[in-house]
C-alpha cells in the first residue's frame, strides 16, 4: 500500500504521494473556486449571467480536448517535462483571466486555464506507473482526495475572498498556488516512465487498441456518467443556491462544497478497501449510492418537502458514490492496456470531462428563470442511472469471458 521508497523533494526517484495529492488538488481548485463569484463577475463585466456560467462548460470541454493530447505526449516524452510545461502555461492563462477587459476575453483565457489538466492526468498516470491494478485503485483513491478536499474548501474560500476583495482575488490565489505547484513539481517529481521512443503520430496510432476494448469503454463511461451527476451539479447549483434559495456568495460557497465532504469519505473507503473487495464491487456500490442520493432528492422535491438543507445535504451521497466509483473505475480503465497508461488516463479523462462539459451546459439550459431544482435533479438522476448500467455491463462481460 505504500509508495515506492523515495525521498521527498528528490528528483532522482518517483514523486512522493503527497506531491501527487497536491497536484490533483490544484487541478480541482482551478475548476470551482470562483463559482460563487459568477453573479458578481457578470455584474463586473456587464454581461449576462448565462454567458459567465459557460466558463464551467468551456473549461471542461477544453480540458477534455487537452487530455486526448496530454496522455500520448506524456507517454512519448515522459511525465516530468509535460507537467512542468503545462503548469507554466497555466500561470500565464491565470494572469490573462485577471487582466481580461471583457467577458469574452476572460472566457478565452479561462479555456486556456484548462491546461492544468496535466496535473490531474499525470498524477494518476504516475500512480499506475508505480503500482499494479488493485493497489493502483487504492492509491488513486488517496491521490484523488486532493480533488475532494480542495473542492470542499475552494468554493467557501472563493466566496469569502469575493466578498472581501472581489472576484479577482480567486485568480490571484490560483496564480500563487500554481507557482508553488510548479516549484514542488520541479523539486520532487522524478520521472516515472521511460520515453516510449515513438513519435506523436505513432502514439496516436495506439488509440485504436484502447478504443476497441469494450472494458475500457465500460469503465470510462462509468466514470464519465457517474461524475456527470456532479458536473451537472457544478453547472446548476450556483443558480439554485443563489436564485432559488437566496444564498449569499459566502454561504453558497459553504453549501456548494457538500458533495466534496462525501467524496473525501468515498476516497478513504477506496483507499482502505479496494484491494480487499476489488475494483468492480467498489464501483458497483458507488454507483448505487450516487443514484440513491439523487433519487431521494427528486422524491422530496416532487412532494414539496425539499429545502436548501435537503438539496445540498443529499449531494454528499453523490460525492460519496463518486469517491468510490472514480478511483476504482479509473484504475480499471488504466489497467486494460498497462503499457498505454498515460494515453488511457488522458482518453478516459477526456471522455469524463467531455460528458461533464455537456451536462454542465445542459444543467444551465434547463434552469429557466423562476424554475426550482427539479430540472437539474432529473438530469443528475438520468446520468446516475446510466452509470450504474455501464458498470453492470462491464461486470457481465468479465463474467462471460471468465476474467
Write out the residue range of the structural domain in which residue 385 sits: 17-191+200-401
Residue 64 belongs to a domain: yes
Residue 84 belongs to a domain: yes
Q: Cell for 185?
A: 513539481
Question: How remote is the C-alpha of 301 from its chain's centroid?
Answer: 27
Distances (CA, A) of 119 to 92, 123, 185, 223, 360: 16, 6, 10, 18, 22
Residue 134 belongs to a domain: yes
CATH number, domain of 141, equals: 1.20.1250.20
Signed CA dihedral, 224, 119, 124, 21: sign only:
negative
Residue pointed to by grid coordinates 525521498: 7
Residue 135 belongs to a domain: yes
* CA–CA distance, 258 with 269 (Å, rounded to integer): 18
pLDDT number for residue 272:
81
pLDDT number for residue 33:
82
Residue 396 belongs to a domain: yes
Residue 107 belongs to a domain: yes
Q: Cell for 295?
A: 433519487
Q: Can you spell out the DSSP letters for 189-224?
A: ----S------HHHHHTTHHHHHT-HHHHHHHHHHH
Residue 333 belongs to a domain: yes
Residue 236 belongs to a domain: yes
For 70-135, strand residue ranges (E) read none
Considering its fold, how many domains does the chain have in total? 1
Average pLDDT, consecutive stretches of 10 residues, N- to C-terminus, the chain (403 residues): 53 74 80 79 83 79 80 78 92 94 92 88 76 66 64 74 87 92 85 65 70 85 88 82 82 81 84 82 94 95 91 93 88 73 72 77 74 88 94 87 63
Q: Cell for 394?
A: 462491464
Phi, psi of 388 (to 5 degrees): -60, -40
pLDDT number for residue 146:
61
Amino acid at each position: 500500500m505504500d509508495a515506492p521508497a523515495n525521498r521527498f523533494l528528490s528528483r532522482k526517484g518517483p514523486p512522493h504521494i503527497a506531491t501527487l495529492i497536491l497536484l490533483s488538488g490544484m487541478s480541482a481548485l482551478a475548476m470551482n473556486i470562483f463559482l460563487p463569484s459568477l453573479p458578481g463577475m457578470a455584474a463586473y463585466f456587464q454581461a449576462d449571467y448565462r454567458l459567465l456560467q459557460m466558463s464551467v462548460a468551456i473549461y471542461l470541454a477544453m480540458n477534455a480536448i487537452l487530455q486526448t493530447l496530454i496522455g500520448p505526449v506524456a507517454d512519448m516524452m515522459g511525465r516530468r517535462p509535460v507537467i512542468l510545461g503545462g503548469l507554466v502555461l497555466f500561470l500565464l492563462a491565470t494572469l490573462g483571466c485577471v487582466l481580461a477587459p471583457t467577458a469574452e476575453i476572460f472566457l478565452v483565457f479561462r479555456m486556456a486555464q484548462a491546461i492544468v489538466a496535466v496535473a490531474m492526468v499525470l498524477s494518476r498516470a504516475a500512480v499506475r506507473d508505480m503500482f499494479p491494478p488493485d493497489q493502483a485503485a487504492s492509491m488513486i483513491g488517496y491521490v484523488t482526495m486532493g480533488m475532494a478536499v480542495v473542492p470542499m474548501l475552494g468554493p467557501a474560500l472563493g466566496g469569502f475572498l469575493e466578498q472581501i476583495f472581489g472576484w479577482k482575488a480567486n485568480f490571484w490565489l490560483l496564480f500563487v498556488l500554481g507557482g508553488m505547484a510548479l516549484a514542488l513539481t520541479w523539486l520532487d517529481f522524478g520521472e516515472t516512465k521511460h520515453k516510449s521512443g515513438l513519435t506523436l503520430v505513432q502514439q496516436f496510432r495506439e488509440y485504436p487498441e484502447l478504443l476497441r476494448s469494450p472494458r475500457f469503454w465500460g469503465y470510462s463511461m462509468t466514470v464519465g456518467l457517474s461524475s456527470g451527476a456532479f458536473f451537472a451539479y457544478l453547472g446548476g447549483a450556483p443558480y439554485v443556491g443563489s436564485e432559488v434559495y437566496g444564498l449569499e456568495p459566502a454561504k453558497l460557497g459553504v453549501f456548494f462544497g457538500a458533495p466534496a465532504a462525501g467524496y473525501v469519505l468515498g476516497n478513504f473507503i477506496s483507499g482502505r478497501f479496494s484491494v480487499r473487495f476489488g475494483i468492480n464491487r467498489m464501483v458497483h456500490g458507488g454507483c448505487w449510492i450516487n443514484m440513491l442520493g439523487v433519487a431521494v432528492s427528486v422524491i422530496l422535491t416532487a412532494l414539496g418537502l425539499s429545502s436548501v438543507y435537503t438539496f445540498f445535504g443529499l449531494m454528499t451521497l453523490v460525492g460519496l458514490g463518486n469517491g468510490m466509483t472514480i478511483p476504482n473505475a479509473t484504475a480499471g480503465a488504466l489497467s486494460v492496456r498497462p503499457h498505454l497508461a498515460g494515453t488511457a488516463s488522458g482518453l478516459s479523462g477526456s471522455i469524463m470531462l467531455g460528458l461533464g462539459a455537456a451536462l454542465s451546459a445542459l444543467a444551465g439550459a434547463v434552469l429557466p428563470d423562476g424554475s426550482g431544482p427539479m430540472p437539474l435533479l432529473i438530469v443528475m438522476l438520468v446520468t446516475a442511472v446510466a452509470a450504474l448500467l455501464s458498470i453492470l455491463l462491464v461486470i457481465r462481460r468479465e463474467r462471460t469471458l471468465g476474467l
